[in-house]
Amino acid sequence: MKLLIVEDDHEIQESIVDYLQPEGYVCEQAFDMVSAQDKITSFSYDCVLIDINLPDGSGLDLIQGLKNMKKSAGIIVITARDAINDRVKALEFGADDYLVKPFNLAELNARIKSLLRRIQFHGNNQITAGDITIFPDRFQAEIRGQSIELTKKEFELLMFFVSNAGRVIAKESLAGRLWGDDMDFSYSYDFVYAQIKNLRKKLKEMGINDPIQTIYGVGYKFDTQ
Amino acid sequence: MKLLTKTTLYFITLSLVVFFVGGVGLYEIMQNLIEKEVNSDLYNRIHFIFNEISQADTLQNVQFIATEPIEIKKVAAVGNPVPFELRDTVLYNKVNNAYMPYRSLSTVVKSGDSFYRIRIYKSLITSNYLIEKVALVIMLMLLLYLALTYFLNRYILGRVWADFFRSLKTMQDFSLESPKREPFKPSEVIEFNELNQVLKEMTDKLISDYEGVKEFTGNLFHEVQTPLSVIKNKTELLYQELSTEKQFQLAGSIFSSTNRLSDIIKSLGLLARIDKNQFSRKEPIDFIALINKNLELYRDMMESKNIRLEKNLIARPKKVMDPSLADILINNLIKNGVRHNIKDGFLRIRLTESEFEIANSGNNPQLPTNELFRQFTRGSEEGFMGIGLAIVQKIVHHYEMKIRYDYLDNQHQIEITF
């Protein structure tokens, strides 16, 4: 999988690359419009991550460029919090998804995976993590071929864990994933714990060793090994 | 009290005092003058009579030269000199068929061997009448003068202060939120021009300071997002490298504090954007849908606290707002109601044509209710309390709605009148 990350801030670039590389992606970097345009004309990417605010232009033009060239790359845009118009325009121009700064890397990772799955498998894929098999497009999961009853939130939670398997995930990222960024968690994550408790219980009932490790003060780590 | 009312009131009070003192004084003076006149006339006449008597040595003709009543009575001998005696009295007037006031002067004269008491009278009717009429005329004049000066005063004051009132109006219309203000008009009054000058300098300074702060905060909110992103992302990366519980705890603190900072910046940025009028869409809002949507968002949170929901959405208010702001408004109110709730508490929402009311069980805020809407008001254990409500208040004021907060019997209640 080949990704292009268009982001002018070097630190953010590095963070994204650091997080995504272990997933097996080939990450190419562009720090401005000109080099990004060069790259999208010369190469093909599976997914392009575009920051709308670039020093020498708007990422929106890049989206149009990609669409004009009939490139099949998935497009995820990164926008500033108050740039609602940019967000709407980006989606109109053909972006597949958007993230608002400041975002979580775990969230970005999950979005990229979900987007790549959508593009490549056209709704017929499955993800396997140990004994767990997930059918993202049907919102279903199976344990050793046996279907497991999950609520929508539990399913999303499982998906997010599996997408970030082996990683330490902040409870804030989980909460943001399940309830959206607009919800204020007032620094109480009781209802996140409640969801995790339910998911754990259901997995345990299916005879799975608890794959969710609690990391005190931080969040969780999902590991099926 | 209004400036014109106050000056007029002073004017009237002082005028009345002056008129009263002046009127009484004038009356006294006139009375005095006329009395002197009457007395001197009486004395003149009596001396005339004496003259007659001494020339003719008889009282025969005296009766005839008198134009006014005269009494001559023979009395017993008296020793000289007999003092003149002035006295006020009444006499019956046949013509008028009434008693009339007279002043009499009497003395005793010797004619031949006999002594006679001569009493001459002078009618006071004309002088009283005169005093009355003159007083009346003076009073009328004074009243007329008072009325005239009252209106003149008001007119002149109005004219003189007109520029002041215009400046005042300009200042009243002044608003930092929409600083398209009218310039002060030059006045003929030097002091007003000076006042205008001072006001202009002050407002200019205010506007430039305000703009500066707005720009600064705008830039700050924007610029701070990137480093915040970096801290958050680096901490996430750091998470993957850590092994001990202590390390995780430290990194976890960094991450949650950064998130918290990010939330605060987000809220402050929102307040600044409302101030800058960046939410200008005008659409009718379906509040029922909006309330249900936001309740759904907080359902898990409510379930985890076992909060009972009492929903009573009676009517759809017709309110045109920016949809984002309407959403933020309802979201913040519901969030507030859920967040500051207690375990096994309740959340009550009522919506009518003209009102949105949200009440929840909760502990005493331990704050004066008017403090609750201020930014960064410290709540109890929940950290920042005010910022959500500060946003609510900002939106409410932005659309000129009314908000009321009450705390009674462990129940918080916020009422918005559309």
Kindly report, residue by residue over B302-332, the tens digit of the pLDDT: 888 889 999 998 888 888 999 989 999 998 8
Check: CB of residue B121 under 8 Å from CB of residue B91: yes
Do both A49 and A116 map to the same domain? yes
- What is the CB neighbour count within 10 angstroms for residue B116? 19
Do both A6 and A22 map to the same domain? yes
Is residue B23 predicted with pLDDT exceeding 90?
A: no
Is residue A181 predicted with pLDDT exceeding 60?
A: yes
* Greater model confidence, A171 or B82: A171
Query: Which of A7-11, B162-166, B263-267, B294-298 shows the lowest per-residue confidence on average (mean pLDDT)?
Result: B263-267
Residues of chain B neighbouring A13 (CB-CB closer than 8 A): none
- pLDDT one-digit tens code per residue, B79-115: 666 778 888 888 887 777 888 888 888 888 777 777 8
Interface subset of B 245-264, CB within 8 angstroms of A: 245, 248-249, 251-253, 255-256, 259-260, 262-263
pLDDT, averaged across chain B: 83
B351: phi then psi, degrees, rounded to nearest 5: -130, 125
Query: B232 vs A153: CB contact, 8 Å cut-off?
Result: no
Reading the block at residue B300, the tokens are 């898990």
Residue of A nearest to B236 (CA): A105
- Sign of the C-alpha dihedral, residues A136, A140, A144, A145? negative
* Count of positions (residues) in chain B: 418
CA-CA distances (angstroms) from residue A163 to A23, A117, A173, B322, B330? 10, 11, 13, 37, 33
**Which of A16, A182, A187 is nearest residue B260 as measured by Cβ atoms?**
A187
**Which of B229, B252, B262 is nearest residue A217 as measured by Cβ atoms?**
B252
Query: B233 vs A15: CB contact, 8 Å cut-off?
Result: yes
Residue B389: what pLDDT? 82
Residue B177: what pLDDT? 67
Residue with tokens 């509040």: B287
- Residue A146's SS3 state is strand
Residue B15: what pLDDT? 84
Instruction: Quote the CA–CA distance of A14 and A111 in Å, as a whole number.
Output: 18
B397 burial type by CB count under 10 A (0-12 exposed, 13-18 middle, 19+ buried) = middle
Ordered by where they begin, the domains of chain B are 3-145 (no CATH), 190-275 (1.10.287), 283-417 (3.30.565.10)
Reading the block at residue B415, the tokens are 């009422």
Do both A115 and A134 map to the same domain? no
Residue B346: what pLDDT? 92
Q: Report the predicted TM-score, pTM, of the whole model to 2 decimal places.
A: 0.66
Instruction: Quote the CA–CA distance of B193 and B185 in Å, as a whole number.
Output: 9
Reading the block at residue B127, the tokens are 């002088």
- pLDDT one-digit tens code per residue, A67-111: 888 888 899 998 876 677 788 888 999 999 999 888 889 999 999
Is residue B151 predicted with pLDDT exceeding 50?
A: yes
Residues B120-126, mean pLDDT to the nearest whole number: 82
Query: A19 vs B236: CB contact, 8 Å cut-off?
Result: yes
Helix (H) or strand (E) holding A63: helix A59-68
Do both A55 and A164 map to the same domain? no
Do both A111 and A209 map to the same domain? no
- Host domain of residue A159: 127-222
Query: A215 vs B269: CB contact, 8 Å cut-off?
Result: no
Do both A23 and A62 map to the same domain? yes
A219 touches chain B (CB under 8 A): yes
Query: Which of A14-28, B36-50, B53-67, B359-373 shows the lowest per-residue confidence on average (mean pLDDT)?
Result: B53-67
Last residue of a domain, one of A121, A156, A187: A121
Query: A102 vs B225: CB contact, 8 Å cut-off?
Result: yes
Check: CB of residue B236 under 8 Å from CB of residue A108: no
- When computed from its CA atoms, the radius of gyration of chain A, rounded to whole angstroms, is 18
Report the CATH number that the domain containing residue A192 is assigned in CATH: 1.10.10.10
B283 touches chain A (CB under 8 A): no
Do both A33 and A110 map to the same domain? yes
Is residue B381 predicted with pLDDT exceeding 50?
A: no
Residue B326: what pLDDT? 92
Angle between helical axes of A33-42 and A59-68 (0-180°, round to 10): 20
- Sign of the C-alpha dihedral, residues B32, B37, B42, B44? positive
Residues of chain B neighbouring A219 (CB-CB closer than 8 A): 239, 252
Do both A217 and A158 map to the same domain? yes
Q: Where residue B380 falls among pLDDT bands split at 50, 70, 90?
A: very low
- pLDDT one-digit tens code per residue, B240-298: 998 898 999 999 999 988 888 888 888 888 888 887 777 888 889 999 999 999 898 88
Residue B58: what pLDDT? 65
Check: CB of residue B342 under 8 Å from CB of residue B362: yes
Query: B331 vs A218: CB contact, 8 Å cut-off?
Result: no
Query: A218 vs B305: CB contact, 8 Å cut-off?
Result: no
Instruction: Quote the CA–CA distance of B416 and B355 in Å, as a whole number.
Output: 6
Residue of A nearest to B239 (CA): A168
Reading the block at residue A188, the tokens are 């109480």
Checking DSSP bridges between strand A47-51 and strand A168-170, what pairing results, if any? unpaired
Instruction: Compute the 3-state secondary structure of chain A and give helix, strand, coil in percent, each to the nearest 5.
Output: 45, 25, 30
**Which of B239, B278, B304 is nearest residue A194 as measured by Cβ atoms?**
B304
Q: Where residue A216 falls among pLDDT bands split at 50, 70, 90?
A: confident
* Greater model confidence, A175 or B376: A175
Instruction: Quote the CA–CA distance of B288 and B230 in Å, as a whole number.
Output: 40
**Which of A102, A106, A168 is nearest residue B228 as measured by Cβ atoms?**
A102
Residues B73-82, mean pLDDT to the nearest whole number: 74
**Amino acid identity at B340:** H
Total number of domains constituting chain A = 2
Is residue B392 predicted with pLDDT exceeding 70?
A: yes
Residue A97: what pLDDT? 93
Is residue B382 predicted with pLDDT exceeding 50?
A: no
- Residue B381's SS3 state is coil
Do both A115 and A140 map to the same domain? no
The strand pairing partners of A147, in sequence order, are A142
Q: Where residue B47 falls among pLDDT bands split at 50, 70, 90?
A: confident
A173 touches chain B (CB under 8 A): yes
% of residues, chain B, pLDDT over 90: 14
Alpha helices in B121-244, H assignment, sequence order: 125-173, 190-241
Last residue of a domain, one of A94, A121, A148: A121
Peptide bond just before A102 cis, omega within 30 deg: yes
Last residue of a domain, one of A55, A88, A121: A121
- pLDDT one-digit tens code per residue, A16-61: 999 999 988 999 999 999 999 999 999 999 999 999 988 888 889 9
Do both A170 and A95 map to the same domain? no
Residue A48: what pLDDT? 95
Do both A116 and A192 map to the same domain? no
Is residue B383 predicted with pLDDT exceeding 50?
A: no
ipTM for the predicted complex comes to 0.85
Query: Which of A33-47, A175-189, A208-222, B44-58 shows the lowest per-residue confidence on average (mean pLDDT)?
Result: A175-189
B130 burial type by CB count under 10 A (0-12 exposed, 13-18 middle, 19+ buried) = middle
Query: B303 vs A194: CB contact, 8 Å cut-off?
Result: yes
| Nearest CA-CA partner of A163 in A206, A97, A104 | A104
Do both A195 and A92 map to the same domain? no
- Sign of the C-alpha dihedral, residues A18, A23, A24, A28? negative
Residues B172-179, mean pLDDT to the nearest whole number: 74
Report the CATH number that the domain containing residue A108 is assigned in CATH: 3.40.50.2300
| Nearest CA-CA partner of A191 in B289, B328, B239, B343 | B343
Residue A77: what pLDDT? 93
Residue A35: what pLDDT? 93
DSSP symbols for B319-366? -EE-HHHHHHHHHHHHHHHHHT--TT-EEEEEE-SSEEEEEEE-----
Query: Which of A95-99, A185-189, A212-216, B292-296 shows the lowest per-residue confidence on average (mean pLDDT)?
Result: A185-189
A104 touches chain B (CB under 8 A): yes
Reading the block at residue B262, the tokens are 């990010």
